[in-house]
Chains A and B, each alone.
Chain A
Amino acid sequence: MRLEFRPAAVHRAVFGAATRIENGTLTVARDELRTLLSVDRRLADVDIELANPGEDCRITDIFDVFEPRFKAQGGNFPGVIERAARVGDGPTAVARGAAVMILNAMSDRYKLTVDMRGPSAEFSPYAHIANVCVRSQPAPGLERPGYYRALKEAGVRAATYIGEAASRAASEQNEILTLLPPSSDRSTLPRVAYIYMLASQQMPTEADEPILYGDNVRNLLPTLLHPNEVLDGAVLAPYWNFGGDTFTAQNHPLIRELYRRHGRDLTFAGVVATIAAETEVGRSRSAVMAANLAHDTLGADAVVLTKYGGGIPESATMETYDACEALGMKGAIVIWTHGGDGSIEGSLTFMSPRANAVVSCGLNEQSIELPPVARVIGSASIGPLIMEAEGETRPSNGPLHLRFLFLAGAADQLGGGRRSIEEY
């Protein structure tokens, strides 16, 4: 697999007659995009709004975020709308510096918010890029799973549409990503595998929820992926957005870091994709199989693990870590931290006594004070969010006390942030 990213730089987005990228400006033909997305009758009142870095603007109701990409040979978010196809290989155009944000009109305690400037900007990559926001209502009578499926498809369509504009623009700083297959790799550098939890079944995925090549990963047994597949659109975030967006997977921080150091101080051995099962039997099975794949098929000397979702996956991660260490691989874990009463005791719901290499991706209860804003894209009120009481809503444009967990791009569990904890 040899993936070639061809980025067309975007610094700002404007509306105009024809969709194109030129000299750093993404022009979006609003009506054309609106019409394209409205073809899906599950969505009503589709509209597009733009938010640029530095604007006095807040985007709320965020359901998922996509980086605009285009593969001329097919395989644009394979298995979702297009059929499954080989990705991770060949050229992919990228509108780098732009994102498609899909907003969710239904009430959902996990919806995200981002400000395009202000104190939260340093914590979210989305405050620094041009966001093309898609608003919609569910068609009358449409239930949640149907609406959410339509939202994902809208994200795929819009991202591919804008990606196509990138493919017609001049690209700069093309990037090649390639790894030798394990059998050919003669390097003596330590082999590091990444165990990547895609979803947690504590919130069971819907029948047609597209996560891995469009599959709902409901009972996913650990499987191997080439990191390029993750970077090239094979993975979408679950409907339950609690750990990272599709954009995060497309720019997967841990995969990017392992690639950066591949050939220098390690050999990136590959990715084991897994889920957190909701039964003990399922978690044990996944732990055994993931460890086996890393150890015996990828020949890994060491593993890095991340989780997705809530507290229950902590147990899955620790069990998998223990299984890896029992086979002689060294492990490191990236994981969130619960505040509890401030003591080091309650940092995790479950921790293996052998987990001696843990990196925190931040304190869950930590929040930030956001100032009032002039403009809001999304609904007029925010909340209630998880951990908040029923009826706890506030005006979207007002001052906002927001947990980092709900700041889009700030609390990914895939290692992208610099928020952490310090024990003292």
Chain B
Amino acid sequence: MGIATAQVCSMRQVATMVGSPRIVTGKSVLHPVGDPILDLAGERALRRRILLDALKALESDGSRDAA
């Protein structure tokens, strides 16, 4: 039995193709959980939101994409 994993990534189709069951859309391949055009507060908020989605995905049974 494996370990429940939520994957934050921008390459959604690659992840789907290999069967990654809990995919959360990241911001960009260049900065999955950040965004240099935002200010620090904006980035923190973005990062937090993505992580909350990831945590929620962990609680799901992994049969459907998370976000």
Contacts and interface: CB of A to CB of B under 8 A. Distances in A.
Residue among B11, B13, B28 having the largest count of chain A Cβ atoms under 10 Å: B13
Interface of B: 10-14, 17, 25-30
A336 to B, nearest CB: 16
Interface string A352-380: 10000000000000000000000000000
29 contacts: A202-B29, A202-B30, A204-B30, A278-B10, A278-B28, A278-B29, A278-B30, A279-B10, A279-B27, A279-B29, A280-B10, A280-B11, A280-B12, A280-B25, A280-B26, A312-B11, A312-B29, A315-B11, A315-B13, A315-B14, A318-B13, A319-B13, A349-B11, A349-B14, A350-B11, A350-B13, A350-B17, A351-B17, A352-B13
Instruction: Give me the 10 closest cross-chain CB pairs, A-B, nearest first.
Output: A350-B14, A279-B28, A278-B29, A280-B10, A278-B28, A280-B12, A278-B30, A315-B13, A350-B13, A315-B11
A297 B25 CA distance: 32
A310 to B, nearest CB: 10
Nearest to B25: A280
Interface of A: 202, 204, 278-280, 312, 315, 318-319, 349-352
A298 to B, nearest CB: 25
Contacts of B10: 278-280
A349 B10 CA distance: 13
Contacts of B26: 280
A318 B12 CA distance: 12
Nearest to A319: B13
Chain B residues touching A, majority SS = loop
A287 to B, nearest CB: 10
A388 B28 CA distance: 26
Nearest to A349: B14
B57 to A, nearest CB: 16
Given A280-B10, A280-B12, A318-B13, 16 more contacts: A202-B29, A202-B30, A204-B30, A278-B30, A279-B10, A279-B27, A279-B28, A279-B29, A280-B11, A280-B25, A312-B29, A315-B11, A349-B14, A350-B11, A350-B14, A351-B17
A352 B17 CA distance: 8
Contacts of B13: 315, 318-319, 350, 352
A312 B13 CA distance: 11
Pick from A202, A204, A278 the residue with the most CB of B within 10 Å. Answer: A278
A349 B29 CA distance: 14
B40 to A, nearest CB: 21
A180 B26 CA distance: 44
B22 to A, nearest CB: 16
A349 B25 CA distance: 18
A136 to B, nearest CB: 30
A352 B14 CA distance: 9
A207 to B, nearest CB: 14
Contacts of B27: 279
A216 to B, nearest CB: 16
A5 B11 CA distance: 42
Q: Which of A202, A279, A312, A318 has the most CB of B within 10 A?
A: A279
Nearest to A284: B12
Nearest to A314: B14
Nearest to A282: B28
B32 to A, nearest CB: 10
A280 B10 CA distance: 5
Nearest to B15: A350
B60 to A, nearest CB: 20
Nearest to B10: A280
Contacts of B14: 315, 349-350
Contacts of A319: 13
A320 B12 CA distance: 14
A318 B25 CA distance: 18
Nearest to B14: A350
A211 to B, nearest CB: 18
A278 B11 CA distance: 9
A278 to B, nearest CB: 5
Nearest to B9: A280
B51 to A, nearest CB: 18
A279 B26 CA distance: 8
Nearest to B16: A350
A301 to B, nearest CB: 26
Contacts of A350: 11, 13-14, 17
A319 B29 CA distance: 16
A204 B11 CA distance: 17
